[in-house]
């Protein structure tokens, strides 16, 4: 269920700050359509400068501004490449992890702005799914909101694939964790 381009981690089943004996049960990214739409947007932006070049090619040569045109295009495409790299980086680093002990929300909002929140599974009170609109319904993605009794009141998994299936899986994992904690088998923090 994990994204195949996750080259930035050691493996599908480890992450920074993983506790001894902890097992990753779910590793989530936003739906692939989110990244695909951003890539399509940057592709469209890449086509825009080609239109005036085609229509004004004769003038560019006539006024001897070919070198300037090439320099401007190189700068433009370098900025587009940087923007596409940024969007891809944010997509790959903004993740949600559900282990057999806790839920971890890694929120990447910039090159140097990262927030990591975690919630013990025994503190989960309610899990709900929100699918909004025809596109989310058709492509089967939406938001999962987890209500807790902890310091962070709500955890929100935004635009994840198969939200109902993921909700049911998280519910099952939470039930197992609460059962273990009730039997004294849980991990003491």
* Alpha carbon distances (Å) from 188 to 101, 148, 180, 182, 183: 10, 18, 11, 12, 12
Q: How far apart are CA 128 and CA 156, in angstroms?
A: 10
Q: CA 41 to CA 86: how far, in whole Å?
A: 14
Task: Give the chain's residues under pLDDT 70.
Answer: 1-13, 150-152, 184-189
Pair 60, 124 in one domain:
no
CATH assignment of the domain containing 143: 2.30.29
Residue 32 lies in a domain: no
SS3 55: helix
pTM above 0.95, yes or no: no
Per-residue tokens: 123: 């503190």
Residue 147 structural domain? 98-182
Q: Given this model, what pLDDT does residue 185 score?
A: 54
């Amino acid at each position: 269920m994990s994204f195949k381009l996750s080259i930035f981690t050691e493996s599908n089943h480890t992450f920074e700050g993983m506790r001894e004996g902890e097992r990753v049960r779910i590793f989530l990214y936003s739906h692939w359509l989110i990244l695909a739409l951003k890539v399509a947007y940057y592709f469209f932006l890449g086509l825009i400068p080609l239109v005036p070049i085609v229509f004004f090619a004769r003038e560019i040569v006539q006024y001897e501004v070919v070198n300037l045109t090439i320099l401007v295009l190189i700068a433009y495409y370098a900025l587009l490449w940087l923007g596409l790299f940024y969007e891809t980086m944010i997509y790959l680093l903004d993740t949600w992890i559900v282990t057999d002990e806790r839920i971890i929300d890694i929120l990447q909002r910039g090159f140097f702005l990262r927030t990591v929140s975690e919630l013990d599974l025994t503190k989960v009170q309610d899990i709900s799914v929100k699918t909004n609109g025809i596109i989310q319904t058709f492509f089967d993605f939406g938001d999962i909101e987890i209500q807790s009794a902890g310091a962070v009141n709500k955890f929100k998994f935004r635009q994840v694939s198969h939200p109902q299936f993921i909700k049911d899986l998280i519910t099952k994992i939470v039930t197992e964790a609460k059962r273990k904690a009730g039997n004294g088998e849980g991990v003491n923090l």
